[in-house]
Structure 1
């Protein structure tokens, strides 16, 4: 197996683990959906899966992950600005 294929597969598995981990931690109440860690896990998970999907030509999945990364960037920018514009927890 080519080294590039191995790296792309490892990156894809890491992306999957980050996204599933973030979802599981929020569902279990161990992480808040607006936390920096949640946003970083989603941003990197989406980016890693985007690389994997694009490499294998899975364009619908790659496009989904482009959007996922965009949402992660917006979340990080909001977290960097503080609580301004944040939706109250009871409204979500």
Structure 2
């Protein structure tokens, strides 16, 4: 039975780190799949942490799980926006994978 709790912990780590990697590399948008992976990973960490008596980890993963659950609940009725209509948003620390170059035009003095 101990092996089951260890497998849960490692599966949780793979789910959360895999989702974080995919979003950070631009392979996945921070949407339903990302939140589902976080929810499942946090739940697995809760099981593993409780087994080991790691209560700070359990508490933080309960919060992580609740955040993902609320996000998924709020997404349930949201209509998916087609990719070509989605606004381009660049978050700090997340690589830009759009392939577009920003063109910045120099300011010109206004004639008075």
Instruction: Identify unmatched segments of 5+ residues in structure 2.
Output: 80-86, 92-112
Instruction: Identify unmatched segments of 5+ residues in structure 1.
Output: none
Q: Which residue of 1 aligns with 2:57?
A: 61
SS of equivalent to 1:81: coil
Q: Higher helix fraction: Structure 1 or Structure 2?
A: 1
Normalization by structure 1: what TM-score?
0.84
Larger Rg: 2
Q: Which residue of 2 aligns with 1:8?
A: 5
Alignment partners' CA distance in 2, 1:70 and 1:44: 11
Instruction: Give 1:89 deviation, angstroms.
Output: 6.3
Q: Which residue of 2 aligns with 1:25?
A: 22
User: 4+ runs of 1 displaced by more than 2 Å?
Assistant: 88-92
- Pick the aligned partner of 1:36 from 32, 37, 40: 32
The count of residues paired between Structure 1 and Structure 2 equals 84
- 1:14/1:76 CA distance change after superposition, 3 Å: same
